[in-house]
Amino acid sequence: MGHSDGEHEQEGDDLSADDSSWSDGVWSEDDDEVSLSFEDSGEGSGSDGESDEAAAAEESDSSEDEVAPRNTVGDVPLEWYKDEEHIGYDIDGRKIKKRDREGRIEAYLRNADDAKNWRKIYDEYNDEEIQITKDEAKIISRLLKGKTPHTNVDPYPDYVDWFEYEDKGHPLSSAPEPKRRFVPSKWEQKKVVKLVRAIRNGWIKFDKPKEERNLYLLWGDETDTADNKRHGLSYIPPPKPKLPGHEESYNPSIEYIPTQEEIDSYQLMYEEDRPKFIPKRFESLRSVPAYEKALREGFDRCLDLYLCPRTRKKRINIDPESLKPKLPSKKDLRPYPKTCYLEFKGHTSLVKSISVEITGQWLASGSCDGTIRVWEVETGRCLKVWNVGGDVRHIAWNPSPDRPILAAVVGHDLLLINAEVGSEEMQMRVKDLLKIDEMAPQDDTDDKKPAVRWMKHEKLDGITLIHQKAVSNVEWHYKGDYFTTLTKKHSHHPFRKLPGLPVAATFHPSQKMFFVATKKFVQVYDLQKAQLVKKLESGLREISSISIHPGGDNVIVGSKDGKLCWFDTDLSTRPYKTLKIHSKDITSVTFHRKYPLFASSSEDCTAYVCHGMVYSDLNQNPLIVPLEIIRGHSSSDGRGVLDCKFHPKQPWLFTAGADSVIRLYCD
């Protein structure tokens, strides 16, 4: 590609005086190992130069005159077509065949005979050669030299002063600052929200920091480090206190200041639950008084430094994620109730108790409106209504399928009535059971009064059990032959030595055992031997409800501080697990008879459904997995969900709320 000096000068005259040639720059292609010089030969400069200038004059700067690319594959990498016979597709969808590749010798001979070869560029995208014009060559030449593309641009124009400074107090405008400089930018806020959403959804991923190699002395000890070689005690930095927030301000916002009712409620809390700081509002910083506990805290600090010196403890580097238990997926634990399927409406006041018949066909409910209702589970139809004339505190269905008897705590007494469901023969048998003879009048000379008096209820054709104290709970034996009631009066032997008043009681599902729950403990009695067998320590503030697993070896206990305790009676007398799941009092806990499920209801208008699998292998601990939080009941007078019961055969859950509605939840 060599050229003579005369040819070089002729081409330089054609370009311009300052853009004589491109001899200062060199293009190189590594693939073909051919250097392209920016010099041009003078051969054919007459006719070819004139034709090029005419073609350049006809070109337009309009985008409408630009030729669309021949290849329409878009942003697809051309490496994908490396082993194909075509390089893409045209606008009609036809394949664009690749050109036959020339050898290096043929390409060199062809370029040596072509005087315009230095102005040809190979377009890899369209697989063709493009010849640039002289005007484009001039622009490229100026850009390579660091100049402006066009010669008519002055890179160093004279400075034009657009302001008049004579007799002006300020060089710029004295207009006030616009409002937009003080208001946060909405555009920036939208941009930040968009970036935050992208980070949360994982659209934007940050590079993980490179892990540094942890170098240590192989035969050394931590006691040999320079920090521990100081004379005397080594310095231990004190723990960093929590930084103050908005509530610690001397003039906080109104939402941070508690009302007088909230301040009074703090006095009813336990001391460890009370807030450490109550925000107050002052008009100015000068009105803020001195810290009232400064002297006391300073004295306590001196005692800490004098009596309780800090010591350095070695920490074990453990990944916190590895300490979390590996729980199974919820899909593997189905079925369990999660969706409201049916609502039972009819009561006009809060429903305190519900009970499901042993076959699962009927549901009984008791309310503070003075009525007891029997519902059909599948349709939600109210079958029977009894007006008992008092608040129904608790209701229980006889577990025997041949005895449809309801036991209800009405007011201070216990009422046994015929549910009037089933065949006529079954109802006649129940009526015979509920018949009692008239009791002889008691002798007034005898000072001892019976604990319970059995009276016939003429209106409902049932039996009323009159106690000396108010009855709070009733539970049937699993065979349906016995039932137990709870009163505030101290009970007889063997329950005479209870550590407090009883709160709840229930029978063992298969053995002759009896569970009595007080405010702090759960006592387990052997009914045959009439003696105490075991005493379970809950550690709760006050127990509210109890339920026994169908296997009989596990017990769950609900408390009035929102905690639920799981006891494994074969393992220990202390709770195996304590779950803090509710924010208010737990009103009821229950196990399912067939499925590994248990549930709890609370005054916070929620019911929790959990998976509780008990294994036959005594070496394997029970598996407890929270499944679903059931919401739907509304609060009334600060009360929420008052009772919950499982269906005896299906994975269904019934909940009774203070909104006088009973809900059925299914899978």
pLDDT along the chain (667 residues), means of 10: 39 40 40 38 41 46 57 78 82 82 80 80 81 88 89 86 68 76 90 94 86 74 50 63 87 91 89 86 90 89 77 74 82 90 90 91 91 90 88 90 88 85 83 70 54 78 81 86 75 61 88 89 88 89 91 92 91 90 91 93 92 87 90 88 92 92 91
Residues 16, 18, 24: CA angle, nearest 5 degrees: 105
Q: Residue 128 forms beta bridges with which residues?
A: 123
**What pairing do the DSSP bridges indicate for beta strands 413-418 and 452-457?**
unpaired
Q: What is the largest CA-CA distance in the chain?
A: 151
Alpha helices in 517-573 (DSSP H): none
In whole angstroms, what is the distance from residue 345 CA to residue 662 CA? Answer: 7
Quick count: other Cβ atoms within 10 Å of Cβ 586? 27
Cβ–Cβ under 8 Å, residues 466 and 453: yes
DSSP labels, 117-141: GGGEEEETTTTEEEE--HHHHHHHH
Tell me 282's DSSP state. Answer: -
Domain 333-435+451-666 has CATH 2.130.10.10: yes
- Among 611, 609, 612, 599, smallest CA distance to 643 is for 599
Phi-psi region of 239 (alpha: psi -120 to 50; beta: other; left: phi over 0): beta
Q: Which two tokens stand for residue 435?
A: 């018949």
Residue 42: per-residue pLDDT: 38
Quick count: other Cβ atoms within 10 Å of Cβ 144? 14
Q: Which two tokens stand for residue 346?
A: 């009819």
In whole angstroms, what is the distance from residue 300 CA to residue 312 CA? Answer: 21
* In the chain, domain spans: 246-283, 333-435+451-666
Amino acid at 552: G
Q: 165-200 burial by CB neighbour count: b if 16+ within 10 A, else e?
A: eeeeeeeeeeeeeeeeeeeeeeeeeeeeeeeeeeee
Quick count: other Cβ atoms within 10 Å of Cβ 80? 10
- Among 592, 554, 12, smallest CA distance to 360 is for 592
CA 92 centroid distance within chain: 53
Phi-psi region of 383 (alpha: psi -120 to 50; beta: other; left: phi over 0): alpha
Coil, strand or helix: which one is 5?
helix
In whole angstroms, what is the distance from residue 325 CA to residue 622 CA? Answer: 13
- Among 84, 77, 83, smallest CA distance to 125 is for 77
Residue 306: per-residue pLDDT: 78
Residue 5: per-residue pLDDT: 41
Q: Which two tokens stand for residue 108?
A: 């060199």
Residue 12: per-residue pLDDT: 39
Coil, strand or helix: which one is 503?
coil
Is the peptide bond prior to 258 cis by the omega test (within 30 degrees of 0)? no
Can you give the C-alpha Rg of the chain in angstroms?
45
Cβ–Cβ under 8 Å, residues 656 and 631: no
List all residues 6 or more positions away from 620 whose beta carbon is below 8 Å from its beta carbon: none
What pTM does this model have?
Answer: 0.53
Cβ–Cβ under 8 Å, residues 56 and 134: yes
Q: 608-645 burial by CB neighbour count: b if 16+ within 10 A, else e?
A: bbbbbebeeeeeeebebbebbebebbeeeeebbbbbbb
Helix (H) or strand (E) holding 657: strand 653-657
DSSP labels, 126-185: TTEEEE--HHHHHHHHHHHTT--SSTT--SSPPP---S--TT-SSSS--PPPPGGGTSPP
CA dist 51 → 54, 65, 292, 373, 506 (Å): 5, 20, 98, 105, 109
Residue 27: per-residue pLDDT: 41
Residues 378, 379, 385: CA angle, nearest 5 degrees: 110
Q: Residue 612 forms beta bridges with which residues?
A: 624
List all residues 6 or more positions away from 584 whose beta carbon is below 8 Å from its beta carbon: 562, 602, 603, 604, 640
